Every structure is written in structure tokens, then in C-alpha cells.
Structure 1
Amino acid sequence: MPTRILPAVGDADAVRSITTLLSQLPDAEPVAPVVDSTQLVDTLARLAAESVDELPEVVVVHERIGPVPALELIREVALRFPAVGVILVTSDASPGLFQAAMDYGARGLVALPLHYDELASRVQAVAAWSVGVRRHLGAGADVFTGVGGTVVTVSGAKGGVGATLTAIQLALAAQASGRSTVLVDMDLQTGDIASFLDVQFRRSVVDLAAITDISPRVLADAVFRHDTGVALLLAPGEGERGEEVTDRAARQIVSALRSRYEVVVVDCGAQLGGAGAAAVEMADAALLVTTPDVVAVRGAKRAVRMWDRLQIRKAEETTVVVNRHTRGTEIQPHLIQKITGTPVAGTAIPAHFKELQGVVDAGRVHELDNKSTVKQALWALAGELGLVKAREGAGAHKGGGRGDRGAVSFRRRRELGP
């Protein structure tokens, strides 16, 4: 059986060098290379969604891959696709880097410049390991893709547009439909999820920031189980401690969560720091909430352009959600789409604050009445994103549920058009 090898190389010269050598290996089947970290993870997720057997046995990661650093990328691949063997190609073959690569989940390291014998030996060993793991797991191969691992980030075009309420209701909808769900408050200085859900907490996301190997037990100690069943990982009570959550820590935390929960909803707030940017970059679906007014839409446009410049997220991979929508406003969703250059969610959230005022003032937005048009729209949005597990013969909720394929499929549908 041929060994499928997926190169992840950003440099054009390195691509030619690596693919030429790989094509010469016995029983090797190199596949089309990917040029950055986002494309690698998306490719593996797409293949895993079709069938675990479609995943390559070996992934070769070049040290200059970007925008996510090579070691961080290796950690994410190892966590999400644990039967895929990863080889790091690097000019630094020191014992220190070798140990770091192994700690991050690599199965081998090959030094630059490449030599046929060394590359062939490493690929053969890693492929044999991958085949052995899959054979050992047998019928349990579904674990390769994790529990589900759909990550959705919710950011605000500016403060006060409703990003936190949106994130909470998306998480509630996913949990109510039968998906294990965690809601993360990555608005590290001013996060309000605890206040919206009337919870007192002792631990926060900061408690995971300095831990390099987040075990299930450590994760369980950090999350708070809400009465609704949603797991909560909250922002610190002392906002200044939010600086302890670096972009590297955020990647580790999100990766650990997506390996334990079917749905991970991350509230990134309106001020995107390093941790929030890392979450947006990793997300299967990145939502940007705006209201249909000039100030908010301009804020959305600035955010989209900034994410693109910083290579956090391309405009076409960002979905704008219109909150407080009315038919009478001059700024309608189609105009927002034109201004921001992004897709706009098909579900707009109506402007009915009176429905929300009581539960917001009480800090119990999870008790919002099922008849609320705002709740129905937000749960319909959850269905549009694929977060709601459809029941046989019916949606999981009156307002939502258009399938069970996850946010990656949602993004593919947008790329294909209506």
C-alpha cells in the first residue's frame, strides 16, 4: 500500500526540493503540497470529514511554514489528527530542537539540506507508526478527528453590538441539541459571560496559560459546568491578568478544548489581542457581529482589513452577522456585505431589545423565552453554521438546525455560492 505524504511548505524552492525527493521514495504517494498552516489544517479537516482513511499517513512540515509557527502547527495537527505522523524539516538539528519537536508531537526530524537516505528512513518509520496506530485502534478510528472539534469565534465590530449575547446563545443552541459544548470568554480584560449567566467562579482561562500539556483532568478543573450543561471557561476576574494568556497559550487551550468538545464557541470581544487573534486564526468559522449603523459597519470594515493585513483571516473566510436589524434601516445586509467584502450570514438578528431587557438586567440570558424572536433568530444562526445536531425528521429547535456537518462545511457552502 503506498504511503500518502502531504508536504506543508511555504517557500517555492523548498517545495520543489522536497516534492522531488518525496516522489523518488519507494511506495510513496506525495499529494499536492499546501503552502501555509491554515491550508494544512483545513485540508486535513476536509479529508477527515469524508473518512479517516482519507488522511495521509505522513505530513512533512517545513520550518518556515506560516503564519502559525511550525512547532505550534505540529501540536495542533497532533492533537486533532493523532494518527497522522508529522516530520519537521529544519536547518536546526540540535538536540534542543529535536526534544522540543518531540514534545510538540512530531514523530521525526530531518535536517536541511535534505538527503535522500535520511528522508527515506524517517518517512518509512513514521508511516509504519501511523499504520500501526490505525490498525491498533481499528473500529475506533473515529477518534482521529476528535469528538467533533468545531470552533466558532464571535467578535464585535465595536463594543456593545451584541457579540457576547450571540456567543452565549450559539453555545446554548448547540448544547440543547445534544452536542457537548464549551463557551470560552477570550475577552480577557472586559469579559462579561459570567455576569450574563449569573455565575460565581474561582478558576479562569488564565489557570491554563502556563501549562504546556493540558490534560483532560487539568481542563476539567478549569471549566465551570453551567446549569444548562454548557461548559464555561471564563475570563479572569482581574482584567490585568489577561496579559498572561499569550497567543501561544491560546492556541494550546483552543486545541485542547476542540479535542474534548464537539463545539467550541469563543467570545473574542471587540478588542482583538494576541490570544483572540490566535483563536480567530484557528477557527472553523469566524463571526464578526455588527449593527446596521455607520459607526459599527465602519468598525467591521476596519476589523476585516486588519485581519487580512495581519494574515489572521481572509475577508472571504469571515462571516458578518447583522444584529438589531430592521427592515426600515438604510443599511441593509446586502450593503454591509458590499462595504466589508465579506459574506453575511443569512440569518439577521431582529432589533427587539424589550425581549432581552429582563433577562439581561437579571444576568440570566439563558432563561430567554423560547418565543423570543431574538432567541429564535440566534438559534437559527446556530443551525445555519451547522452547530445544531439535527434530530431525525426534524430540526433540534424551532428556530434552527439545517444539518450536522459543522462550520467547515458551512464555509465550503459559502465558497460554492447559493
Structure 2
Amino acid sequence: MSTRILPAVAHPDAARALTTLLGQLPDTEPAAPVADSTALVDTLARLAAESVAALPEVVLVHERIGPVPALELVREVTLRFPAVAVVLITSEPGPGLFAAAMDAGARGLIALPLSYEELAQRVQAAAAWSFGVRRHLGQGALELYGGPGGRVVTVSGAKGGVGTTLVAVQLALAAAASGRATALADLDLQAGDVASYLDVQFRRSFADLAAIQDISPGVLQDAVFQHDTGIGLLLAPAEGERGEEVNDRSVRQIVSALRTRYEIVVLDCGTQMNSANAAAVEMADTTLLLTTPDVVSVRAARRMVRLWDRLQIRKAEETVTVVNRHVRSAEIQPPLVERITGTRVAKTVVPAHFKELQAAVDAGRMQDLEAKSTVRQALWGLAAELGIVGAPEGEEAVRSGRGAKGARTGRGGLLRSDRGPVAARRGRPTS
């Protein structure tokens, strides 16, 4: 039986050297190397979506793969694709790194410079482990636990006061109402309001998971609050200063754990950039950037997009901008926002109907927002446009949004939506 190998190597010279040696191994099928962490995870997710049996038995991760650190990438791959054996290639194969790699889920280390004998030995051992796991679990278990994982959607605000938390909460409610297992995580770590919007008293938060090296399903379950709407909530710490305990490493681990358990993971990233929510935006399958139709907010959106691009977190064309508090009479309309930011602007816009929200906001129960509310209809229509709700509910949300009193379709209308999924790769105040 041939062993399928997928190398992840950034440097062209290192990739050529590794490919040459892999081509000499007997009974192997080496794939073309992928050049970064995003390409690796995307490739594995695509293969798993076709068939779990299509996944390679062995993944080789070079220590300088980037942009995600190698050990964090090893952890993410092993969490999302548990029957794939990951081997780390490193120039410093000491006891400390060996222990860290094992904790992350690696099946072995290969020292640089590469040697044929060691490469053959490590690949053979990793492949034997992978074949054994697949035989033991069987195809059904692999389909359940080894698939591409849930879809991660981040919601960020161009500036404070644009309605980021409201949008994140309603997207999660729409996904849960459509029957999908949904988690809502509050990454506005110092000023998160998700708990206030959903009338939740909580003790555990993101900070409680930050120091845990191996987040098991039981540990995750203890930290997630099961809301009566069916949403799993992972909240920001009640003490804002504890937000500093959450860094990019812990966010990658926590989000990876969430996506193995939930079909949809919505992350409220607030409006301030730090290493924690930057890691979330980089990991996301869909990134939303919320703005209001005014000069200050749109300029802030452009600054945020450029910041993400400079930091190599997210490209402009991979970002979906959502226009909140839209009015037909405003000078700034979605096409102009699209030109200024260089992003794709969602066809669904959220109308500026403040009075509809007041009672639900004051009660701290956004789940009680009336179904006939044009704001809710728009946001559930946005969920349908993004493809994060089931088809029947999504179509109903779009139809009800178009039929709402005062709603219009087309350019400048109060609600514009299609039902196609976003092709992207990869908050405090009210609307």
C-alpha cells in the first residue's frame, strides 16, 4: 500500500531538496509541496470535503513554514484531521522541542540537514500509525471526527459603535435556528458584551482556556456555556485585564477545538486589533468587516483592511464588508464603500431602524428581537448570503426580508441579498 505524503515547505530550495528525497522512497506518493500554513489547511480541508479517504497519511511540516508557527500548525492539523500523521522537520531536534512537538500532536521529528535514512524511518513509522488509526476507527468515525471541521466566521468593527456584537449575535442565532451546531465566542476580550446581549451570568471564559496546553472535548465543554437558544457561548472574561492572558497561540488552539465540535463558529472580534483577534481573523474561513455609511467609519474600514494586509493577516479581496445602519438617502452607498476599501461588500445591507432594537437591547435579550423586525430579517438574510444557515431557513429569511414593510431590493434598497456562499478563504453598541 502506497503512502501519500504532503510536504509543507516555504523555502524553494528546501522544498526541492525534500521533494528529491521523497521521490526516492519506496511505496510513496509525494504530493507537490504547499508553501504556507494556509495552503496546507486549505488543501487538507478540500480533500476531506471530497472524501476522508483522500487525505494523505503523512504531512511533513518544515519549521519555517509560516505565517502560523510550525507547532501551532501541527496542533491545528492534528485537531482537525486526527488520522493524519504530522512530522516536524527542524534544525534543533532537542528534548525540549521534541516534548513540545509531541504535546502538539506530532508523530515524530526529522533533523536538518535531511538524510535519506532518517526521512525513510520517520515517514514509515508515521504512515504505519496513520494506517492503524484508520483501520481501528473505521470510515464512519473518520467521517465524524476527521472532516474539514466547522466553519469559522469573524466579525470585526471598523471602529467603535458600528454594531459588531449585534451582528455577531444575530448571525449565530440564525445559524442555530437553522439546525446547525453553533458556537459564539467573544474575542472583544476587555470589553465584550455578548453575555449582556444574551442575558447570561457566567464564570468561565476565554481566559480559563488560555493556559491549557491540550484542550480536550471535556475541558472545552466545561468552558462553554450552553445557552437556551442552542448556541454554545465562550465569553470574554468578566475582568477585562484577564484578556491579556489570551494570546495568538491560545486563540489558535481554542478556535481549532471549537471548529472540531461545531458546524458554525462565530467570533466577535470587536474593533481593537491585538495578537489574539489577529490570529482569529487569519484562521477564519469568512471575515466580515462592519462599517456604517459615514466618512469616518469608511475611512476606518480602509485603515483596518490595509493593516490586515500589511500584517499578512487577510487580503482585501478576501474580506467581506457589511454596511450597517443603511439609509437610501445617504451619500455613501455600498458601491462606494467597495471602491474605497477594495473589499467585497455584502449585497445584504442592514437598515437603520433603531427603535426596533431598543426593547431587546434594554432587556439584554437579543434572542427576543421580533421576527418581523427589518433589522433581524436583514441580518438573517446576511446569514443566508454567507451560507452559514441551512437552505430552507436561509431562503425563508431572505424571502421574509424582501417582503418586510418598507423593504426594497436593488441598489440603495433597505435589503439586498442573494443566497450564494461567500467565496472568501480564509462591538459593543447597537445597530
Q: TM-score, normalised by structure 2?
A: 0.90
- Structure 1 distance, partners of 2:283, 2:274, is 14
Amino acid at match of 1:310: L
Runs of 4 or more, structure 1, over 6 Å off, are: none
Where 2:391 maps in the other structure, the secondary structure is coil
Alignment of 1:6-405 (within 5 A): 6-140=6-140, 141-146=142-147, 148-391=149-392, 395=394, 397-399=396-398
- Structure 2 distance, partners of 1:333, 1:248, is 36
Relative distance call for 1:396 and 1:410 in structure 2 (3 A) is: closer
Whether contact under 8 Å (1:147, 1:262) holds in the other structure is no
Where 1:32 maps in the other structure, the secondary structure is coil
Where 1:399 maps in the other structure, the secondary structure is helix
RMSD (Å) for aligned C-alpha atoms:
1.9
Whether contact under 8 Å (1:324, 1:351) holds in the other structure is yes
Runs (5+) with no aligned partner, structure 2: 401-419, 427-431
Aligned to 1:412: 423
Whether contact under 8 Å (2:49, 2:147) holds in the other structure is no
Where 1:87 maps in the other structure, the secondary structure is strand
Whether contact under 8 Å (1:376, 1:398) holds in the other structure is yes
Whether contact under 8 Å (1:85, 1:129) holds in the other structure is yes
- Structure 2 distance, partners of 1:223, 1:251, is 16
What is the CA distance between 1:187 and its match in structure 2? 0.1
Relative distance call for 1:286 and 1:413 in structure 2 (3 A) is: closer
Spell out, residue by residue over 1:169-228, the C-alpha distance to the aligned partner (whole angstroms, 9 max, x if none). 011011111111111000001111111112111211111111111122221221112121
- Structure 2 distance, partners of 1:398, 1:412, is 21
Amino acid at match of 2:377: Q
Whether contact under 8 Å (1:79, 1:256) holds in the other structure is yes
Amino acid at match of 2:44: L
Spell out, residue by residue over 1:365-409, the C-alpha distance to the aligned partner (whole angstroms, 9 max, x if none). 111111111111111111222211234xx74743389xxxxxxx9
Whether contact under 8 Å (2:165, 2:268) holds in the other structure is yes
Runs (5+) with no aligned partner, structure 1: 402-408
- Structure 1 distance, partners of 2:199, 2:347, is 31
Amino acid at match of 1:256: A
Where 2:10 maps in the other structure, the secondary structure is coil
Amino acid at match of 2:78: A
- Structure 2 distance, partners of 1:281, 1:410, is 19
What is the CA distance between 1:414 and its match in structure 2? 8.8
Whether contact under 8 Å (2:45, 2:148) holds in the other structure is no
Amino acid at match of 2:267: V
Whether contact under 8 Å (1:343, 1:414) holds in the other structure is no
Spell out, residue by residue over 1:54-74, the C-alpha distance to the aligned partner (whole angstroms, 9 max, x if none). 211111100001011000000
Amino acid at match of 1:20: T
